[in-house]
Amino acid sequence: MTDERSRARAEWEAVAGGWRRWEPLFQSFTWPIALRMAAVTQLGDGKRVLDLGCGIGDPTLQVAVLVGPHGRVLGVDLSDDMIATAKERAAALGLAHVEFRAADVTTLDLSPGAFDAVLARWSVIYMRDVAATLTRVRAAIVPGGRIALTAWAPPETNPWITIPMAALGAVRPVPAPDPREPGIFHLSADGELAATLRAAGFHGVHQERVRLSQFARNPDEFWAMLADMGGGGPLAPFLVQLTPAERERAARGVAEGIAPFRTGDVFRIPAEAQLAWGEA
């Protein structure tokens, strides 16, 4: 594993416990993208599906319900701790046709034509050579099978993460994400994901944006979740460096930033994802 991938693995391992603790709120945030990915890949009974970068088992488990016991779903992720939680969740749901494996998706050994569909939700954005990985993945999909992958839309449409980043930046220097490099806003521009799929040899390619909404009962809950989950992983190295006083200042900044998104007695903070899909 390269140093870059080893660093990414360490970042996700550091926040795996937070993802476990905040599972219900994160699922309430991401369900629209899981449904759209399943729809555009035409998943149904008996399908064989590969989920690249499955984390704690999303959308792997939702997909496993859709394909039923005659289907098969394999979820792959860098983090052993994420995979451990995913396995627990599958066992609790009695989904015996789901397998989880801790592995690097960029070097994963894949058999030709082993899958009817591949999903990659917010995982390719952390890869250096996305087209090369997707070219390898295409060979593992049956002819006419489908792939769906996501990235985040540009920063201005994602206050759920840019507000915490700005609050952290007011306390300590936080480098602005470079969309040209692997990271949270990599491939965020309209059409970039679709172009990557075409470069990897997929056809019938489409791309759209999907609106999401991050729910929180109050600013303290929102900040606690983001801090515990490392802002999805990439903010973890900055959060662990904060002193208690700096953490309090950042929390106040987050509370001020999300104030416009109060709806009655709760908060609904906007987000947007990019979704692209195509055929092998």
55: left (phi over 0), alpha (psi -120 to 50) or beta: left
Q: What is the pLDDT of residue 18?
A: 74
pTM to 2 decimal places: 0.93
Q: State yes or no: pLDDT of 265 exceeds 90.
A: yes
pLDDT digits (tens, 9 = 90+) for 176-197: 888 899 989 999 999 999 999 9
Of 280 and 105, the structure prediction assigns the larger pLDDT to 280
pLDDT at 138 over 60: yes
Given this model, what pLDDT does residue 206 score? 98
Residue with tokens 């999909």: 141
Token pair for residue 21?
């603790």
Q: Which residues are registered as beta bridge partners of 150?
A: 121, 275
- Reply yes or no on domain 3-155+179-213+272-279 having CATH 3.40.50.150: yes
pLDDT at 1 > cutoff 60: no
Task: Provide the pLDDT confidence category of residue 11 given band limits of 50, 70 and 90.
Answer: low
For the ranges 15-24, 143-152, 225-234, the one whose mean pLDDT is highest: 143-152
120 touches 41 (CB < 8 A): no
* 233 pLDDT more than 70: no
Contacts of 156 (CB under 8 A, 6+ apart): 162
Q: Grade residue 27 by pLDDT with cuts at 50, 70 and 90.
A: confident
Q: How confident is the model at residue 7 (pLDDT cuts 50, 70, 90)?
A: low
- 137, 140, 135, 145: which is closest to 198 by C-alpha? 135
Angle at 26 between CA 22 and CA 32, to 5 degrees: 165
8 pLDDT above the threshold of 80: no
Query: Does the pLDDT at position 230 exceed 80?
Result: no
Task: Give how far Cα 169 sits from Cα of 8, 161, 176, 251, Å.
Answer: 21, 12, 9, 12
Cα–Cα distance for residue pair 32/210, rounded to 1 Å: 7
Closest residue by Cα to residue 145 from 100, 112, 99, 123: 112
Inform me whether the pLDDT recorded for 229 exceeds 70: yes
Predicted confidence (pLDDT) per residue in 59-77, tens digit: 999 999 999 999 999 999 9
Residue 240 in this model has a pLDDT that exceeds 80? no
Mean pLDDT, residues 28-47 taken together: 96
List pLDDT tens digits, range 166-175: 999 899 888 8
Give 214's DSSP letter: E
Higher pLDDT, 13 or 110: 110
Pick the closest to residue 276 from 192, 215, 214 (CA basis): 192
Higher pLDDT, 34 or 11: 34
pLDDT of 107 reads: 86
For 68-218, where are the alpha helices, taking DSSP H only?
A: 80-93, 130-139, 159-169, 192-199
The packing angle between helices 244-258 and 219-228, to 10°, is 120
Q: Summarize the confidence of residues 127-137 as an average pLDDT.
A: 94
Angle between helices 3-21 and 80-93 (to 10 degrees): 40
Percent share of the chain, pLDDT over 90: 74
